Structure 1
Amino acid sequence: MRLVLTGGGTGGHIYPALAIGREAAEKQPGTELLYIGTSKGLESRIVPSQGIPFESVEISGFRRSMSMQNVRTVVRFLQAFRRSKELLRRYKPDIVVGTGGYVCGPVVFAASRLGIPTLIHEQNVVPGLTNKFLSRYASAVAVSFADSLPHFARVGNAKHAGNPVASMVAKADKKKGFASLGLAPGTPFVLAVGGSRGAKAVNEAIMEMLPGFAGLGEVHLVFVTGERYYEEAQTRLAGLPAELSKRVRALSYVHNMPEVLAAASLIVSRAGASSLAEITSLGVPSVLIPSPNVTNNHQQPNAESLASAGAAVMILEKDLNGESLLASVSSIMRDPARRERMAAASRGLGMPEAAETIYEQMLQAIRASKRRR
C-alpha cells in the first residue's frame, strides 16, 4: 500500500495519523508512507523523528470575523491545493487519510479532485470546520465518538471506529507503570495531569486540594505539573507535612504515560480526544476538566460523552477549585464499588481495535474506487 497521511497543528491530530500508518505497515509489510503537513506545525518535528518521509504545504485557518487575513488564507489554500496535487501526482497513493487540522483541507480536497480515495478521521464529538468541509468530498469518515455520527449523516461510509491512539496503548503494562513511579504493585493512586504542557487552573486546584487529600488514607497522588510549572510546584510541595509528602509525587512530564495510566486508580485530566481514547482503552475512571481555551469548546462535549455513560465526573473550569476537586476525588476513591462501575463503563467505551477498524475502512474505500474505474 502507498499511503499519504495528513493532519497537523497538535498532537491530537498527528498521533492518530501515525497510529493509522503503523497499523497499515503492520498489516501490509512493505507499505510506503508519506506525511504531508506544514513546516511550522508540530508534525514537522514529530513525523521525521519516526522515520517517515515528510513534505510540507503552507496553510492557515480562517478567522471567524471579516478580515484581510481571510483573503490571504484563500490565496494560501489555492497555493497549497496546487502543491498538494503535485505531490500526489508524483507519489501516486492508493489512499489519502486526513486526521484534522487546517493542512488536511488542501491535501484531502486535492486527492478527491484527482480521484484518489480519501478517509478522514474526526477525534472530537463536535467536528472541526476542516473535517465538516471535507466530509462532502471524502470516500469514508471514521469518528471517535458515536455522538459524532449525526454530524456526518449525509456521508455514505461513516463509521464509529474509535480513536486509533487507543490501539497503541491497549496493551500497556501496569507493572512497569508502578515500577517507574517507585510504587508497590497495587498501590492506589490518583494521576493528576493538565496536559503535556500543564494547566495553571488544574494545577492550582490540585494544590488547594492537598490538605484535604491527607484524609484519604493510603491513597497516593502523582501530580504531573508540566515543565513550565514544575519548579513552582516543587517549592509549594516542600511545605507539606511529612506524612502527606510521602504520598505526593510531582513530575514535570511522564514519558511512559500509557503504563502509568494503566496502573492508576483514577485520573484527573483535561478532555482532549487522544487522552480520552487512552483512558477508555485502559478502562480508567476519570474526573474530567475540559479546557475552555480550545476551538469551539470541543473538550466539553467530549467530557459530557464519558460522564453521561458513567465513566467520568465532569467539572467545568468555572466551577473548579480545591473543594470541588477534592469532593469528586474523595467520593470516587472512598467507594471501590463506584470506582469499579466507572472503570467498567470506561472500558465499555474503549475501542482498542480502532486502528484495525479504520484500516478495514480504508481497504473498502480503495476497493470501491477500483470498481468505479
Structure 2
Amino acid sequence: MLKILFVGGGSVGHIAPAIAVWEELKKLSPHTSAHFVCSPRPDDSAFLTKHKLPYSVLDAPRLSVLYPLRIIHAVRAAKKIVFTFKPDCIFSKGGYVSIPICFVAKQLHIPIILHESDTVSGYANRIVSRWATKICTGFPSKHTVTGNPLRKNITKGSKEEGLNISGLDGHKPILLVIGGSQGAEALNNAVVQNLDDLLLRCDVLHITGRGKLSKITKDGYYSAEFADSELRHFYACSTVALSRAGAGSISELSANGIPTILVPLRKVGHDHQYKNAVASVKDGGCMCLEQTLLQKKLVSTVHSLIADDEKRAAMSKKIRMFSHPDAALQIAKIIVQTLDKAPTGE
C-alpha cells in the first residue's frame, strides 16, 4: 500500500484544500493511505477530527531569535512522524509546520509535491520550494498552474437551506461578510459600526471568526463564528460578498460566482493578499477596497453594487472564469504520477 503524508496548518485554509486533494486521490488510487500533519491550533485538529482523518500535531516555530533552537526540536518531532508513517510522497500545503516535515523528507529522498495558493509565496513555501519535486500553483506562474483545490460540495449549496439556517427571509439582497477562517477584526468592526445603513439595502450574513461573535440582534442580520458544512448554503443565498483576499476565500467565492469586494490585509506574508486582490480585480470579477477606506466607503460601495444588476451579472460571469473546479483532481493526478515513479517505502 502506498502512503502519502499531507502537511499544512495554521488555518483551515491550509487543511481544507488538502482534504479536497485526498478525496480525489482516493478515487484514483483506492489502495493509498493518508496521514495529516497540522499545527497546534485548535481549529486544525478540530477540522481533521470532524472529517475523521488521522493526524499528528507538530509544533513548528515561526521566524524569531529562538528559531534555530526550536527548529531542532521540530525536526526531531518531524523525524518521528515520518519514520512512523513511512510515506512514499509528501503533499505540502504550506505554513511553518511544513518546513521540518519537508526537510526530513528531502534528507530521505521522499518526493515532495508543493501547492502554493497565493500569487506570491510566504517564507515557508519559499523554503520548501527548494526541495520540492513538483510545484503547483493557484494563480498563473512559471510552474504547473492547477488552480486552488475546493472543499467537497462547496458549490452545491441550497439557497433555501442557507435562508433556513440564517433565519433571513430572502426578500432583500444578502451581503456575505467573510474574513477567512480566523476572522478579520477590521471587517467585523466596519460592518457592526455601519450595520444600520447597510440594512437599508440588504440583509447581512456575517462570519466573524472564532471568539469574535457579534452580540447584535437585528432583523436582517445573522452572525456566526465559523461555518463549515453550512458555508456552501451561505454562498448559495448570497448576492454579494465582502471578504479578505486570501486565496482560499477568493477561490470558493469565484466557484460560486459571487461578485466580491475584497479588503486585503496589507504588509503580511509578502503582501500576498494585496497581490491576490490586484490579480482578481484585473479579471473583472472583484472590486478592491483598501482597509484604510473601509469605514468611509463600505456603505456606498455595497449599496452601489447591489443597486446595479447589470454590473453584478457581469462580475459574476467574470469571477467564475477564475475558478478551477478540477484543481483537486489535477493535483491528485500529479501525486499519482509521482507515486508511480517513487520507490515503495519499506
| Same fold (TM > 0.5) | yes
Corresponding residue for residue 38 of structure 2? 37
Corresponding residue for residue 291 of structure 1? 265
* TM-score, normalisation: structure 2: 0.88
**Shift, 1:131, TM fit:** 0.9
Kindly tell me: are residues 40 and 24 of structure 1, through their superposed partners in 2, closer, same or farther at Cα, counting changes over 3 Å? same
RMSD: 2.6
2:326 to 336, 339, 353: 353
**Shift, 1:272, TM fit:** 1.8
| Separation of aligned partners in 2, 1:49 and 1:139 | 31
Structure number having the greater helix percentage:
1
The residue correspondences of 1:1-373 to structure 2 (distance < 5 A) are 1-39=2-40, 42-63=43-64, 67=65, 69=66, 73-146=67-140, 149=141, 153=142, 158-165=143-150, 168-183=153-168, 188-213=173-198, 215-216=200-201, 219-226=202-209, 228-234=211-217, 237=218, 245=219, 247-255=220-228, 256-292=230-266, 294-321=268-295, 323-369=296-342
Worse-superposed segment, 1-10 or 73-82? 73-82
List per-residue Cα deviations over 1:157-183 (Å, max 9, x = no partner): x31111212554133333322332345
List per-residue Cα deviations over 1:56-97 (Å, max 9, x = no partner): 44420213xxx3x2xxx2233334334434433442322111
Contact 1:267/1:286, CA 8 A, preserved across alignment: yes
| Separation of aligned partners in 1, 2:213 and 2:53 | 33
Contact 1:123/1:144, CA 8 A, preserved across alignment: yes
Gaps of 5+ in 1: 238-244
Kindly tell me: are residues 368 and 350 of structure 1, through their superposed partners in 2, closer, same or farther at Cα, counting changes over 3 Å? same
Kindly tell me: are residues 293 and 53 of structure 1, through their superposed partners in 2, closer, same or farther at Cα, counting changes over 3 Å? same
Kindly tell me: are residues 203 and 83 of structure 1, through their superposed partners in 2, closer, same or farther at Cα, counting changes over 3 Å? closer
Worse-superposed segment, 121-130 or 173-182? 173-182
Contact 2:167/2:222, CA 8 A, preserved across alignment: no
Contact 2:12/2:181, CA 8 A, preserved across alignment: no
Contact 1:287/1:313, CA 8 A, preserved across alignment: yes
Larger radius of gyration: 1
Secondary structure of 2:110's counterpart equals coil
* TM-score, normalisation: structure 1: 0.82
**Shift, 1:294, TM fit:** 4.0
What one-letter code is carried by the residue in structure 1 that aligns with 2:94?
G
List per-residue Cα deviations over 1:306-351 (Å, max 9, x = no partner): 1111111111111111x41122112211111110111011110011
Gaps of 5+ in 2: none
